Amino acid sequence: MAYTFRGGSHVAEHKHTRRQQIEKMDPPARVSIPLSQHIGAHAKPLVAVGDYVWRGQMIGDVEDGLGCPVHASVSGKVTALELRTNVAGTQSVHIVIESDGQMALDPLILPHEKKLSETTAEEIIDIVRRAGIVGMGGAAFPTYAKIRSAIGKAERLIVNCAECEPYITANHRLLLENPAGVINGVKILLKALGVRHADIAVEDNKLDAINKLETMLADSKLMGIKVLKTKYPQGDERQLIYALTGRELPAGKLPADVGCVVFNAETCAAVFAAFAYGMPSIERIITVDGDCVANPKNLLVPIGTSCLDVIDACGGLRCPPQKVIFGGPMMGAAQWDIETPVIKGTSAILAFSAEKVKPSKLPEVCLHCGRCVQNCPMHLMPNYLVQYAMQGDLAEAEAFGALACVGCGTCSYNCPGNMQIVQYIRVAKGTIMAKRQAEKSRALAQDKSE
């Protein structure tokens, strides 16, 4: 029997690229690497305009607090440090590098010298931090910080290979084409955490990958496969932990608070590459799809490549896009600039025509059918939340759990009344959080002045 969670729904899969082997993209002429592409502080630049940089060279780092270094994904010359809008719609400095076409690797990039058995947890954390590895499922939380916060608290390691968003097949292809990279990365994470066993969790729409992993792990005592029912949003950490352990993760808590730690499959492979070869996080697999893309593919793309260059590597656009999304269609972020560069958390680029994204002409009416309540994986009452959000009643929206909403969009997807539920809740949630932050800053300022 496949593992699952309560709520959620089966969304149309559109996994057209599931049989497309990962292709390595030709080096782009230019990359634009944001100094802020993770949760945490912006990195400070370590290079200046005119500098030559190697591929893999660290070009930005965070001195204090949570954050991650960033590295050059091509060799060449730094031509600008410019303020640009990033994937999330906020402004940050980008380091622009004109490629010399050589992809010359930094000679300082070397494998870790010791065997895994002789390596300490702190050494692994340092390797992962220096490599700038973050959660590659989209959340982009620095992996070194996740490992550190879970040591001594987590006793179950879960590898998230659910890939429940429609269209995206990057993890699926990774499991088929580089399962050893994922498995070896899991061994390193187990060692760092002092955890004895890992569950590799895969949805049952990837049977070929499940079969492959089961064969490879037939005699393994360190890890096993857990087959998940294909249902959205199974890849959400909360739903994954519940499906495998029955433990509920309360809003505002971390997986380690319920004894678990979750890593995305590509993150595990990145950890192995950092340990075995010294490779920092400078490229990632991206599913490129949507009806506007001439040849949908899974591409290995240097970080900082523009969206347009990625689409060009897939034969270009066959029709003008109305909407370009970074990530999946349920939770991804629509972009206003087709030149937006790829970051470490970009799992997909989807380009859709006006025909595919045309808004419904029906009015937004709640029919009180209760479907949104039935499907909400967080067990909220989206029907009430949307009403309070529409009325601007933030106190009631908060009382009804707006902050616990994970923004999965299952409610909107299933609503027969055409209510744009998740959009309203997102705005309300953002406003509540901004208000809280402003109150906190005011209180801090007051404390300082007293």
Please say which residue, 34 or 255, places its beta carbon nearer to ligand SF4: 255
Concatenated DSSP letters for 173-228?
HHHHH-HHHHHHHHHHHHHHHT-S-EEEEEETT-HHHHHHHHHHTTT-SSEEEEEE
Q: Assess contact for 125 and 192: CB atoms under 8 A.
A: yes
Please say which residue, 350 or 421, places its beta carbon nearer to ligand SF4: 421
Q: Does an H or E element contain 345, and which? A: none
Question: Which pair of structure tokens corresponds to residue 34?
Answer: 């944001």
- Residue 85 has a CB neighbour count (10 Å cut-off) of 16
Binding-site size for ligand SF4 (CB under 6 A) equals 29
Q: Residues near 227 by Cβ (< 8 Å), separated by ≥ 6?
A: 2, 3, 202, 203, 204, 210
- Looking at this protein, which amino acid is placed at residue 8? G
Contacts to ligand SF4 from residues 90-119, by CB under 6 A: none
Please say which residue, 157 or 422, places its beta carbon nearer to ligand SF4: 422
Q: What minimum distance in Å lies between the beta carbon of 4 and ligand SF4? A: 16
By CB under 6 A, is residue 307 in contact with ligand SF4?
no
* Of residues 288, 364, 297, 293, the one with CA closest to residue 326: 288
By CB under 6 A, is residue 371 in contact with ligand SF4?
yes
By CB under 6 A, is residue 9 in contact with ligand SF4?
no
- Looking at this protein, which amino acid is placed at residue 232? Y
Select from 4, 178, 305, 410 the one that contacts ligand SF4 (CB under 6 A): 410
By CB under 6 A, is residue 372 in contact with ligand SF4?
yes
By CB under 6 A, is residue 306 in contact with ligand SF4?
no
Is the peptide bond prior to 45 cis by the omega test (within 30 degrees of 0)? Answer: no
- CA-angle at 255, arms to 250 and 259, nearest 5°: 105
Q: What minimum distance in Å lies between the beta carbon of 225 and ligand SF4? A: 27
By CB under 6 A, is residue 164 in contact with ligand SF4?
no
Q: What minimum distance in Å lies between the beta carbon of 439 and ligand SF4? A: 24
By CB under 6 A, is residue 260 in contact with ligand SF4?
no
Q: What minimum distance in Å lies between the beta carbon of 373 and ligand SF4? A: 7
Select from 96, 192, 293, 425 the one that contacts ligand SF4 (CB under 6 A): 425
* Of residues 269, 274, 263, 306, the one with CA closest to residue 284: 269
Select from 238, 409, 424, 428 the one that contacts ligand SF4 (CB under 6 A): 409
Question: Which pair of structure tokens corresponds to residue 303?
Answer: 């970080």
Annotate each residue in 312-351 with x if it binds ligand SF4 (CB under 6 A) or - if it does not, as one string.
----------------------------------------
- Burial status of residue 300 (CB atoms within 10 A of its CB: 0-12, 13-18, 19 or more): middle
Select from 170, 303, 366, 428 the one that contacts ligand SF4 (CB under 6 A): 366
Contacts to ligand SF4 from residues 374-403, by CB under 6 A: 376-378, 380, 382-383, 385-386
Residues that bind ligand SF4 (CB under 6 A): 366-372, 376-378, 380, 382-383, 385-386, 405-411, 415-417, 419, 421-422, 425
